[in-house]
Amino acid sequence: MKLSVVIPVMNEAEIIPSLFAALAASLGGIDHEIILVDDGSTDNTVAAIQKAASSGTRLVILNKNYGQTTAMAAGIDHAQGELIATMDGDL
């Protein structure tokens, strides 16, 4: 079974490297995809994700801040796993 991890983020460029490190440590050996939803960030969050992303990562970009619930729903809409886990980006 594939696990989809959906993570909405907004203005969290500084924590993206540690987020990816924690995900790699936690998900090693598990068939998974990571879906990050940028909820209208005005900092370098998108660039930080693109720099740190691995092959199993997808980025959904919302053109403005719609809020966590909408961002989470957008990520779930893009999920392809049989199981879906959601979490906050700021660990």
- Considering the entire predicted model, what is its pTM? 0.95
CA atoms lying within 13 Å on the CB side of residue 83: 7
What does pLDDT average to over the chain? Answer: 96
The pair phi, psi for residue 14, each rounded to 5°, is: -65, -30
pLDDT digits (tens, 9 = 90+) for 29-49: 999 999 999 999 999 999 999
Range of the domain at 62: 3-86
Number of domains in the chain: 1
Residue 63 included in any domain: yes
Q: How many helices (H) and strands (E) does the chain have?
A: 3, 4
CATH number, position 41: 3.90.550.10
pLDDT digits (tens, 9 = 90+) for 52-72: 998 889 999 999 999 999 999
Residue 91 included in any domain: no
